[in-house]
Structure 1
Amino acid sequence: MAGPRRAPRRRAGEDVAISPRQRDEVIQWLAKLKYQFHLYPETLALAISLLDRFLAAVKARPKYLNCIAISCFFLAAKTIEEDERIPVLKVLARDSFCGCSPAEIRRMEKIILDKLNWDLHMATPLDFLHIFHAMAVSSRPQLLALLPTLSPSQHVAALTKQLLHCMACFQLLQFKGSMLALAIVSLELEKLLPDWLALIIELLQKAQMDSSQLIHCRELVAHHLSTVQPSLLPNSVYVYSPLQQTLVTCNRGAFHRQPSSVPGPGLSKDNGRPEAPVTGTAALYQRRPAPAGGCKQASAKRKVEEMEVDDFYDGIKRLYNEDLAPEVVALENMGSVCGADVSRQEGSVSPCPPLQPVSVM
């Protein structure tokens, strides 16, 4: 008598769900694409939110994760970006190395839209970050005086980078986007305002959120952000290396990091997978050569293009009345004012380049 029929053997990994690690890696890959195609941070934030909503509604297989992610990224770009900044689908599929054809991305877009009921206009954690930051500045105007080197829009840009790092951490998915944004704002205000706790309580009451969850979220966010910045070796020492070139006053402090072939920070060329952190040596800085015509202002367009697009938020700048001339904004961010002390003689100013950490055996 024949025994019971065995169930057909399934392929390895066929029913395996997408792991949290795979989810974080694909978000880091999307962050690389955001830098590569010069898109807004709002586009990346919306793409991550769409991806998480879809994965929460559908049990997808890991082999479809790249196609899902690039489709969410393309939907977010078409929702946020201006028409002339939206990547061409054929170029996006080719340059992203997603392994999908444009037709497959189109089909996946239709599936995502059906599962999300065609609702793409959702509030992201970045939207709440802008709201909480504007409320904090409105309630505590002295906060602007505590940021002598940063304008409010640049301060928001720095917080945005922290938020995008946190959105790529699966452990923080347990919190709402508003809670995550308020945790980042509270950690920043703690370093700037003596009465930061009273301000955070006001924001908690207005947002009607639980304080115990905020404390837990702050702890996880602080731990995650502390691991983002690579720490120096315990036996590192600083060695002063004097400049070999003639110091020019208008270029004082204009040191730039050696440009990387990867457009995004902490990302490798291997299909967007995160790069291992560099330990033991610090990034080298090279000094910008002095202009041939003396202390002459470069064009504002060139200086603006050299700066990160994240540092410019037109809406935020109008909100804080930061309608300054582009030349002033560019020179402030370069850390020098051209022509301020041209009359100083060579050698009267002591150059102070960044200290270089060196490992000692």
Structure 2
Amino acid sequence: MKFSGPLESQRLSLLLETAISREAQIWKVHLRRIQPSQDVGISPTQRDEVVQWMVKLKFQFHLYPETLALAVSLLDRFLAAVKARPKYLNCIAISCFFLAAKTIEEDERVPLLKVLARDSFCGCSPAEIRRMEKIILDKLNWDLHIATPLDFLHIFHALALSARPQLLTTLPKMNPSQHVALLTKQLLHCLACYQLLQFKGSMLALAIVSLEVEKLIPDWLALIIELLQKAQVDSSQLIHCRELVAQHLSSLQPSPPPNSVYVYTPLKHNLVTCHAGPGFRFHPGSKDKPEVPVKTSAALSRRRRLAPGRCKQPTAKRKVEEMEVDDFYDGIKRLYNEENAPEAVAALEGKAASACGADASRQAASASPCPPLQPVSVM
């Protein structure tokens, strides 16, 4: 679709007028009073949670965003027409989701009912979903075709590009399709907000477009006024909707840009000197934890005896930090003739603790030195 020229603008204006007329015939305020007992009616939190679940189903079954938007619209229309109990909410939601999929998707993309009931973990059987479908269709007079907020978002976005072709000049790496996909993500996030049900779908879509246009061009207000006149929307309601949408979108985490590069910065290890020989000390960045020296195989081979009371006493269960020198593990294997390096390290720590862990009384009485190491066997 081209976004420039009077003919395209006239077609978009006619499409917007038809959608607004259709919305005015069907739409009504979906807000309901919060019931004191949750067994009587569905609470706003429960409604938002089930919409978030439907969003996950959309990605799980690889369906179009239009399917999800229609499913949420059917859910809100049905909940506004009847007083449903919370125990039926999952069945109502999955039935609306299946009706929307059969309405929007191609036949080969519509999931099988038994697969949908099984993989969605809705807790309903296919027969129960079909019975709920019949109830929903009866309450909605078998009229499932309504302009969703996503439909208005596409129309307003196309009108904005038609009126301001330079709208995306500040975003050189983003084409119109990618830009409308970004706005679609914001809209799907807003669908799970109960407070925004007081506004029509056209109002919600225009609020999202206006917040985005404000960031892109300096004369955004003139463009929004033009869209307001075409949509026949009250400006005071738009301002209120913009505030709520901006507040709700602040919790949306921005997605990383494409082809992101993540740089890994390892922690620095400093080689320090111990009285009993050189060791490899690990600095985790916290001053509260004591630094534990770790002896290398070279230090162990040079010193057959360790002077008591010159090293800090290591704990029996402490873990030896990973070292960049592979000879450390090979040396432990050769000294103790064992294949399992962690067990050898534990045995070495037990011998080192007996030598370095001397208290003040044993230091004064000339404690016995460490036992000599076992002879090295050639492996």
TM-score range, shorter chain: 0.5 to 0.7
Structure 1 position 241, deviation (Å): 3.2
Q: Which residue of 2 aligns with 1:131?
A: 155
Structure 1 position 143, deviation (Å): 1.1
How many residues are matched? 225
Q: Which residue of 1 aligns with 2:58?
A: 34
Structure 1 position 227, deviation (Å): 1.5
Q: How is 1:137-148 mapped onto 2 (pairs within 5 angstroms)?
A: 137-148=161-172
Q: Is 1:84 matched up with 2:130?
A: no
Q: Which residue of 1 aligns with 2:144?
A: 120
Instruction: Tell me: CA distance 1:124–1:103, structure 2 relative to 1, closer, same or farther (3 Å).
Output: same
- 1:193 maps to a residue whose letter is I
Q: How is 1:86-101 mapped onto 2 (pairs within 5 angstroms)?
A: 86-101=110-125
Secondary structure at the counterpart of residue 240 of structure 2: helix
- 2:137 maps to a residue whose letter is L
- In the superposition, the TM-score normalised over structure 2's length comes to 0.57
Q: Distance in 1 between matches of 2:146 and 2:38?
A: 32
Q: Distance in 1 between matches of 2:127 and 2:118?
A: 12
Q: Distance in 2 between matches of 1:239 and 1:39?
A: 34
Q: Distance in 1 between matches of 2:264 and 2:218?
A: 36
The structure 2 residue matched to 1:188, chosen from 187, 200, 212, is 212
Say whether the 8 Å CA contact 2:190–2:249 is kept in structure 1.
yes
- 2:73 maps to a residue whose letter is S
Q: Distance in 1 between matches of 2:37 and 2:119?
A: 28
Q: Which residue of 2 aligns with 1:63?
A: 87
Secondary structure at the counterpart of residue 144 of structure 2: coil
Q: Distance in 2 between matches of 1:180 and 1:154?
A: 20
Q: Distance in 2 between matches of 1:68 and 1:76?
A: 12
Structure 1 position 16, deviation (Å): 1.8
- 2:102 maps to a residue whose letter is K
Structure 1 position 229, deviation (Å): 2.2
Q: Which residue of 2 aligns with 1:334?
A: none
Q: Distance in 2 between matches of 1:72 and 1:34?
A: 12
Say whether the 8 Å CA contact 2:39–2:86 is kept in structure 1.
no
Structure 1 position 15, deviation (Å): 4.4
Larger relative contact order, structure 1 or 2 (CA cutoff 8 Å, min sep 6): 1
- In the superposition, the TM-score normalised over structure 1's length comes to 0.60
Q: Distance in 1 between matches of 2:153 and 2:132?
A: 30
What per-residue deviation string (whole Å, max 9, x for no partner) do you get for residues 156-194 of structure 1? 000000001001100100000000000000000000010
Q: Distance in 2 between matches of 1:68 and 1:13?
A: 20
Q: Distance in 1 between matches of 2:264 and 2:82?
A: 56
- 2:190 maps to a residue whose letter is C
The structure 2 residue matched to 1:150, chosen from 170, 174, 188, is 174
Q: Distance in 2 between matches of 1:222 and 1:14?
A: 30
The structure 2 residue matched to 1:177, chosen from 197, 201, 209, is 201
The structure 2 residue matched to 1:23, chosen from 20, 29, 47, is 47
Structure 1 position 149, deviation (Å): 1.1
Q: Which residue of 2 aligns with 1:49?
A: 73
Q: How is 1:98-109 mapped onto 2 (pairs within 5 angstroms)?
A: 98-109=122-133
Q: Is 1:213 matched up with 2:232?
A: no
Q: Distance in 2 between matches of 1:208 and 1:88?
A: 42
Say whether the 8 Å CA contact 2:95–2:129 is kept in structure 1.
yes
Say whether the 8 Å CA contact 2:207–2:238 is kept in structure 1.
yes
- 1:241 maps to a residue whose letter is T
- 1:90 maps to a residue whose letter is K
Q: Distance in 1 between matches of 2:209 and 2:37?
A: 41
Structure 1 position 68, deviation (Å): 0.1
Structure 1 position 112, deviation (Å): 0.2
Secondary structure at the counterpart of residue 160 of structure 2: helix
Unpaired runs of 5+ residues, structure 1, are 1-11, 231-237, 243-361
Q: Distance in 2 between matches of 1:86 and 1:207?
A: 34
Structure 1 position 240, deviation (Å): 7.3
- 1:50 maps to a residue whose letter is L
Q: Distance in 1 between matches of 2:264 and 2:107?
A: 50
What per-residue deviation string (whole Å, max 9, x for no partner) do you get for residues 256-285 of structure 1? xxxxxxxxxxxxxxxxxxxxxxxxxxxxxx
Q: Distance in 2 between matches of 1:81 and 1:121?
A: 14
Structure 1 position 145, deviation (Å): 2.2
Structure 1 position 144, deviation (Å): 3.2
What per-residue deviation string (whole Å, max 9, x for no partner) do you get for residues 185-216 of structure 1? 00000000100000000000111100000000
Unpaired runs of 5+ residues, structure 2, are 1-35, 255-261, 267-379
Q: Please identify the structure whose Cα radius of gyration is greater.
A: 2
* Cα RMSD (Å): 2.0
Q: How is 1:220-259 mapped onto 2 (pairs within 5 angstroms)?
A: 220-229=244-253, 241=265
Structure 1 position 30, deviation (Å): 0.3
